[in-house]
Chains A and B, each alone.
Chain A
Amino acid sequence: MTNGVITDAGFKPSGQIQFGVFFQGVNSGTIWKSEQSGSQTDFESFRRVAQTAERGLFAAFFLGEGLRLREHLGRPHELDVAGRPDAQTMLAALAAVTSKIGLVATQNTTYNDPADLAHRLSTLDLLSGGRAAWNIVTTDNAWTGANFRRGGYLDHADRYVHAEAFVRTAKRIWDAWDGSGSPSGGSWGRVRHEGQHYTIDVTPRLPRSAQYRPVLFQAGDSPEGRDFAARQSDVIFSAHPKLDDAVQFRKDLIARTAAAGRGPNELQVMPASEFILGATDTEAAEKKEWVRGLQIGPQQAIAYLEQFWGRELSEFDPDGPLPEIDPVVEETSETRGSGFHGAKARQLADQWRAEAKEKGQSIRQFVTSRTARIDSTFTGSYSSVADQLAEYARVGAVDGFNISPWLIPSGLDDIVNHLVPELQERGVYPTEYRGSTLREHLGLPVPSRPGGAGDLAIEAAAAVGSGR
Chain B
Amino acid sequence: MTAAKDSSGQSGFLAIDLDGVRPVDLATTVLAAESAGFHVATFADGPVLEGRPAHRLNALQRAAFAGPLTRSIALVPEVDTVYTEPFHVATQLASLDYVSLGRAGWIATAAAPGDGGSEAAAAVGRLVVDGTALAEEAAASIEVSRRLWDSWEDDAVIRDVATGRYLDASKLHYVDTEGPGYSVKGPAITPRPPQGQLPIFAPAALIGEGHVSPSAVDAVLVSAPTPELLAVEVRDARSRFGAGTAGGPAVIAELDIVLDARGASAAARAALLEPSVRARFVGTAVELTALLDELLAEADGVRLHPADVAVDLEELSRLVLPELRRRGALLPVRNGGTFRELLGLERPASRYASQSTSGIGE
- Residues of A at under 8 Å CB distance from B? 32-33, 37, 40-43, 47, 66-69, 75-86, 88-90, 92-97, 111-113, 115-116, 119-120, 122-124, 126-127, 129, 146-151, 183-184, 198-203, 205-207, 297-300
Contact = CB atoms under 8 A, between A and B. Distances in A.
B66 interface: yes
Nearest to B121: A201
Contact of B95 (A85, A113, A184): A85
Contact residues of B: prevailing secondary structure: mixed
A122 B48 CA distance: 15
B68 A47 contact: yes
B164 A299 contact: yes
Given A116-B124, A126-B23, A127-B26, A206 B57 contact: yes
B127 to A, nearest CB: 11
Contacts of A201: 122-123, 125
B360 to A, nearest CB: 5
Nearest to A42: B98
Given A43-B99, A66-B91, A69-B172, A93 B68 contact: yes
Contacts of A82: 166-167
B191 interface: yes
Contacts of B360: 75-76
A42 B184 CA distance: 26
A228 B99 CA distance: 35
A88 B204 CA distance: 30
Given A85-B98, A127-B26, A147 B60 contact: no
Given A32-B159, A116-B123, A76 B101 contact: no
A124 B61 contact: yes
A309 B220 CA distance: 53
Interface stretch (B80-88, B210-218, B251-259, B273-281): B80-88
Contact of A183 (B55, B56, B92): B55
B185 to A, nearest CB: 4
Report which residue of B55, B61, B83, B191 has the largest number of chain A beta carbons within 10 angstroms of its beta carbon. B61
A390 to B, nearest CB: 37
B54 A205 contact: yes
A337 to B, nearest CB: 12
A203 B66 contact: no
Nearest to B53: A205
A68 B189 contact: yes
A83 B56 CA distance: 30
A124 to B, nearest CB: 6
Contacts of A37: 159
A199 B48 CA distance: 20
Contacts of B190: 41, 66, 83-86
Interface string B55-72: 111101110111111000
Q: Which 4 A-B pairs have the closest CB atoms?
A: A299-B164, A66-B189, A93-B99, A85-B95
Contacts of B60: 89
A183 B57 CA distance: 14
Interface residues of B, number: 66
A218 B225 CA distance: 51
B181 interface: yes
Given A32-B166, A41-B191, 12 more contacts: A42-B98, A75-B361, A83-B152, A83-B190, A89-B64, A92-B64, A92-B65, A111-B85, A123-B58, A146-B184, A200-B122, A201-B122
B122 to A, nearest CB: 4
24 contacts: A43-B101, A47-B68, A78-B167, A78-B361, A82-B166, A83-B156, A83-B190, A88-B92, A89-B92, A90-B64, A92-B62, A97-B68, A111-B85, A112-B88, A113-B124, A115-B124, A116-B123, A124-B61, A126-B23, A127-B57, A127-B65, A129-B24, A148-B182, A300-B164
A28 to B, nearest CB: 10
Contacts of B179: 149
B309 interface: no
B244 interface: no
Interface string B19-47: 00001101100000000000000000001
Given A115-B123, A148-B87, A298-B164, A206 B55 contact: yes
A96 B95 contact: no
B67 A299 contact: no
Given A96-B66, A120-B61, A127-B26, A79 B98 contact: no
B96 interface: yes
Given A84-B189, A89-B95, A113 B64 contact: no
A119 B66 contact: no
Nearest to A191: B123
Contacts of A148: 85, 87, 182, 184
Given A111-B85, A148-B182, A126 B57 contact: yes
B183 A146 contact: yes
Nearest to A111: B85
